[in-house]
């Protein structure tokens, strides 16, 4: 039997090592794929939890929006009983009753339509006005801000057009407004003020949300966008995490820093013109 030469033995050793490395790489690739699947499942669960929390907030907001028209309708119904007792019901009374009732009913119907539009996700990225999206979030949340004595300063001129998902952007703004409101309430702040400023750079449209609620503990600044991190007793810790996910899905960024008397959140989203040019270059 002819003995194998040293070169042949070395070659076979190399082949064995190569096969071992391939097997290890395949194993690591499978582990990586498993982790990717787990992360996607985790993100799906987080998004569903956030949606449930958002639905709860939506129902509460609708309740606030409906309270006044329901009270008005209740008074109208009570007035019908008294008008009947005193013989005041005639065609003119019925016309006024119908007109005032329909005003309240139409207001309630518009509220439902506003919320349905607000929570309906956009399927494709499109150019949208950052100011208009912020206004929509403020319209939804205005009663809650007023209830807690929070003064909002928001002035914008022109139509700074960004490129992304306008409804999702409004939800991001709502998350930041909710966070500011909770900070004011938690710290029992007085003279509560929230300023919103829109600006732009060469490639991005920026929106700054500046409150005077005392700021965030420095050691917690790096954690505010982590999932399940919250300083509220009944908080889910998902609002700001989902904010970061949504903004990054639009190729944007969200940052937070402390000011002299509060916190400043900054949203930065690609301009419509810059984003469209980039897509044309990529094609």
Query: What integer pLDDT is reported at residue 164 of this predicted model?
Result: 93
**260 vs 108, more confident:** 260
Give the model confidence (pLDDT) of 198-249 as tens digits. Answer: 999 999 999 999 999 999 988 888 888 887 777 666 656 677 888 888 899 8
Query: What integer pLDDT is reported at residue 105 of this predicted model?
Result: 87
Contacts of 49-57 with CB under 8 Å at 24 or more apart are 49/236, 49/238, 50/236, 50/238, 50/239, 50/242, 53/236, 53/238, 53/239, 54/119, 54/171, 55/119, 57/178
Query: What integer pLDDT is reported at residue 1 of this predicted model?
Result: 45
Query: What integer pLDDT is reported at residue 46 of this predicted model?
Result: 64
Contacts of 273 (CB under 8 A, 6+ apart): 161
Distance CA 111, CA 142 (A): 13
Distance CA 117, CA 130 (A): 16
Contacts of 69-78 with CB under 8 Å at 24 or more apart are 69/104, 69/105, 69/107, 69/108, 70/104, 70/108, 72/100, 72/104, 73/101, 73/104, 73/105, 76/100, 76/101, 76/104
**5 vs 260, more confident:** 260
pLDDT at 281 over 50: no
Closest CA to 228 of 38, 18, 86, 53: 53
Mean pLDDT of 102-128: 77
Query: Which of the four pLDDT bands, split at 50, 70 and 90, describes residue 283?
Result: very low
Query: What integer pLDDT is reported at residue 142 of this predicted model?
Result: 83
Give the model confidence (pLDDT) of 53-64 as tens digits. Answer: 666 666 766 776
Give the model confidence (pLDDT) of 163-212 as tens digits. Answer: 999 988 988 998 899 889 988 988 888 889 999 999 999 999 999 999 99
Helix (H, G, I), strand (E, B) or coil at 68: helix
Q: Mean pLDDT, the chain, as a whole number? A: 81
pLDDT at 161 over 80: yes
pLDDT at 37 over 80: no
**10 vs 82, more confident:** 82
Distance CA 262, CA 60 (A): 27
Residue in the structure block whose two tokens are 């709502």: 174
**What string of DSSP letters covers 136-166?**
HHHHHHHHHHHHTT-EEEE---S--EEEE-H
């Amino acid at each position: 039997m002819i003995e194998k030469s040293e070169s042949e033995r070395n070659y076979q050793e190399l082949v064995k090592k190569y096969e071992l490395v391939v097997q290890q790489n395949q194993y690591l690739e499978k582990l990586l794929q498993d982790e990717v699947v787990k992360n996607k499942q985790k993100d799906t669960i987080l998004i569903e939890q956030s949606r449930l929390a958002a639905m709860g907030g939506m129902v509460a907001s609708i309740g606030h929006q409906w309270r006044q028209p329901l009270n008005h309708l209740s008074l109208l119904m009570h007035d019908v009983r008294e008008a009947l007792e005193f013989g005041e019901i005639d065609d003119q009374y019925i016309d006024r009753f119908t007109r005032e009732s329909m005003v309240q009913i139409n207001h309630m119907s518009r509220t439902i339509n506003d919320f349905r539009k607000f929570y309906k996700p956009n399927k494709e990225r499109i150019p949208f006005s950052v100011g208009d999206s912020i206004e929509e979030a403020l319209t939804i949340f205005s009663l809650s801000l007023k209830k807690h004595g929070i003064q909002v300063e928001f002035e914008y001129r022109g139509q700074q057009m960004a490129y992304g998902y306008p409804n999702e952007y409004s939800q991001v703004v709502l998350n930041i407004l909710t966070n500011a409101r909770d900070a004011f309430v938690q710290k029992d702040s007085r003279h509560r003020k929230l300023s919103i400023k829109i600006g732009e750079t060469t490639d991005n449209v920026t929106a700054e949300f500046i409150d005077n609620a005392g700021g965030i503990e420095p050691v917690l600044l790096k954690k505010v966008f982590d999932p399940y991190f919250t300083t509220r007793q009944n908080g889910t810790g998902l609002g700001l995490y989902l904010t970061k996910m949504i903004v990054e899905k639009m190729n944007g960024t969200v940052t937070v820093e402390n000011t002299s008397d509060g916190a400043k959140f900054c949203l930065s989203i690609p301009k419509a013109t810059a984003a469209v040019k980039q897509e044309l270059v990529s094609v």
